[in-house]
Amino acid sequence: MSAIALDPSSAHAANTSGIDVDGIDVRAFGRVAVVMGGESSERQVSLWSGEAVLAGLRRAGVDAQAVDGASNLLSSLLQRQFDRVFIILHGPGGEDGVLQGALEALKIPYTGSGVIGSALGMDKIRSKRIWQNMGIPTPEFVQVARAQSAASLVRDFALPLVLKPSAEGSTFGITLCRTTEQVELGLNEARRFGGPVLAERLVEGEEYTVAILGRRVLPIIHVVPKSKFYDFDAKYLSDETDYRIPSGLSNQQEAAVQALALQAFDAIGASGWGRVDVMLDRNGAVYFLEANTNPGMTSHSLVPKAAKAVGIEFDALCLHILATSLEPRR
């Protein structure tokens, strides 16, 4: 088993006396593996999230241990070193149903969505096809043909558009394109990740996100990056991104978007906890961009901010997410 050393100031020794936090008896969890890191492009984000979750669980009294990546986790599980798994891996190999399937085979409880929900949540093209078929509004899109040129894509789909890898997160590989030259660069960048590429109509407007915890839809956050594009720096590094809670939507608008977000989450078989990203165009029309079944838990992350708005502090949030591993799978 490979464990990750933390800064002593952020790590706390586990309290195994069985304290009760927010109505949850931590003794029910047993020994918990917090799996983080891995080998995807989101490794660093996963390490940031995982270290925060590990510290939060330990402060709450959970016997938790860090494990780096799925392969190290599976080898330790075969030795029966853990009772359940808190998955905080981001991207392919941890968030796409692969690890979830292995844990199902080993009959090891884990947090978050199951195999199908994880796989569909990671696959932007297929999740959008499901939403489209169900009448859930999502921007017009196409899967870019493997050999398609920038000129033919612009001719067939028109500008402006967004190019993104279908199975990456944290804005890796995304390009906003207003010219054919930008499309050319964007195709090269998105194809660098090796999987299918999604071309999506660029929605001009405001960005919002809706966090889901169990069956509870948390308050909507209006995300206002200084650069007008919510890229990696704006998500994880900048202190200038404005996170507005309340969102500024009317009560009626907020309730309608929340209801649609839960419907979109359910449509792809997601469960436990997650986040759905939304755009409102300049006319107020709502468009669902993607679902995230294993969101970030860093100091800048959105689910902790939404939870805090309803009085759920970070350590209690970690416990609530861990409690999803106690629920029977569908």
Residues marked as catalytic = 42, 170, 236, 275, 277, 290, 292, 296
Q: In sequence order, which residues have a C-beta less than 8 Å from that of residue 121 and are 6 or more positions away? A: 95, 113, 127, 268, 270, 274, 290, 291, 292, 293
Q: How far is Cα 222 from Cα 91, in angstroms, rounded to an integer?
A: 24
DSSP H/E element including 65:
strand 63-68
Burial (CB count within 10 angstroms: exposed 0-12, middle 13-18, buried 19+), residue 200: buried
CB 35 within 8 A of CB 73: yes
Q: How many CA atoms lie less than 13 Å away from 266 in the CB half-sphere?
A: 12
Q: How far is Cα 194 from Cα 25, in angstroms, rounded to an integer?
A: 44
Looking up tokens 């900048």 gives 238
Q: Comparing C-alpha atoms, which of 182, 181, 175, 180 is closest to residue 200?
A: 175
